[in-house]
Amino acid sequence: MSGDTYGIWAVLVGIIVFIGVWIYAIAQWGFLLGIMVGWIPAMITAYIAGFLWPLLAVVIVLFIGFILMNS
């Protein structure tokens, strides 16, 4: 059952990262070029982030802890 959890979170993180990077590409390269070409770096980044989601989760938790300790 725990093997399913990794896959579910990998897909969820991949989708979120894909959308975020594609929006960033649209903002940086303009609407037309961002829509046409921006999905390529978004796909590569989402694929890598999907595999490394536990590392991403640890970094986010540490970042939030750092902010809370310094406020």
Domain ranges of the chain: 2-69
In this prediction, residue 3 carries a pLDDT of 64
Neighbours of 56 (CB within 10 A): 14
Instruction: List pLDDT tens digits, range 9-61.
Output: 999 999 999 999 999 999 999 999 999 999 999 999 999 999 998 898 898 89
Residue carrying structure tokens 């595999």: 51
CA distance 71 to 57: 21
In this prediction, residue 2 carries a pLDDT of 60
30 DSSP assignment? -
CA distance 35 to 29: 9
In this prediction, residue 46 carries a pLDDT of 95
Where does 30-52 have alpha helices with state H? 31-37, 39-51
CA distance 33 to 68: 39
